[in-house]
Amino acid sequence: MVAPPEEILDPELVICDPHHHLWEQFELWGQMQPAYLLTDLQADAQAGHHVVSSVYIEARSQYRSDGPEQLRPVGETEWVAGMHADFLLDGIVGFADLMLGDAVEEVLVAHQEAGAGRFRGIRHSSAWDPSPDIRNAASNPPGDMMERDDFRRGVATLGRLGLTYDAWLFHPQIPQLYELARSQPDVTMILDHLGGPLGIGPYQGRRDEVLGDVRRSLDQLAECPNVVIKLGGVGMTIFGLGWHKREERVSSEEVAEAYGPIIRWAIERFGVDRCMFESNFPVDRHSADYVVLWNAFKRITADLSAPERAALFHDTATRVYRLGGTA
């Protein structure tokens, strides 16, 4: 059964979507995914919500097929920078192996040159868990990556070049990000997907316990003024709610009920100037439609003031990623 399309809530609320991917082919958690290209993103972004800008986040797409290994990810930035969209792809976050330490500067400069003025930072995912039931990040990070000196020197190089660091990790690793953020206070760090609260493998059926752990870890992390958090990723299958297995698609009311408490808590703890909503499309499409996700975020924040909502839906993202201008 297919649920009828939802009416767009607050259609005039201006949105920057600071986290989406594009790919021609992609393996996600062991399964090949259908293509999701600029035309698909445009169709989603124009479905009724007032999306005026976006940030592309690395997805291991279109790497160079030859040349030095460390420079091959620059092909992804070249690919995205070559696309032209009137109101999307305002910022690009690519991949570089930060375990190169100081030597990663060559790669970062190449990304900047390829980015046509839109390159903003790096995501080197550290998502790792000892359980064989959880698939770790495709870059195959060691479990102690954020604690390693070579990695921290790579992160410091981001800071010297005025670039940001996006952190994709699983919730037990949030304390490692806290230590990393304290060691690199001059680097702006963006924690993706609510800190990755796992709900599969050894974490299945333990949602209240997991969210309690997330709150405690984020409470500590919020002490670091250089850390910003993305409020999203709520449709990922690894979060364990099983929405992707349902015949009828999830509604915005259900999303708001499931994630409203932790999202509102994060907003209160970090403040609206350090929080931004994200679609995480097309990954979250496994569970919810683009319209549904943004409707859910609007429901969750319905009682906030207009300036607070402007920060959460647009202003924080454009400031952190230096997209410039306002809608």
The answer to the question of residue 6 being in a domain is: no
What CATH number did the domain enclosing 221 receive?
Answer: 3.20.20.140
pLDDT score of 1 = 43
Q: Can you tell me the distance from the alpha carbon of 224 to that of 313, in angstroms, rounded to the nearest whole number?
A: 22
Into how many domains does the chain fold? 1
Q: Please list the pLDDT of the chain residue by residue as tens digits (327 residues).
A: 456 689 999 999 999 999 999 998 767 656 777 899 999 999 999 999 999 999 999 999 999 999 999 999 999 999 999 998 888 999 999 999 999 999 999 999 999 999 999 999 999 999 999 999 999 998 899 999 999 999 999 999 999 999 999 999 999 999 999 999 999 999 999 999 999 999 999 999 999 999 999 999 999 999 999 999 999 999 999 999 999 888 889 999 999 999 999 999 999 999 999 999 999 999 999 899 999 999 999 999 999 999 999 999 999 999 999 997 433
The answer to the question of residue 2 being in a domain is: no
The answer to the question of residue 327 being in a domain is: no
pLDDT score of 2 = 54
Find out whether 323 and 55 touch, Cβ atoms under 8 Å.
yes
The answer to the question of residue 240 being in a domain is: yes
The answer to the question of residue 7 being in a domain is: no
Domain coverage including residue 107:
14-320
The answer to the question of residue 196 being in a domain is: yes
Q: Can you tell me the distance from the alpha carbon of 123 to that of 94, in angstroms, rounded to the nearest whole number?
A: 6
The answer to the question of residue 5 being in a domain is: no
The answer to the question of residue 83 being in a domain is: yes
Specify the pTM: 0.95
Q: What are phi and psi of 36, to 5 degrees?
A: -140, 105
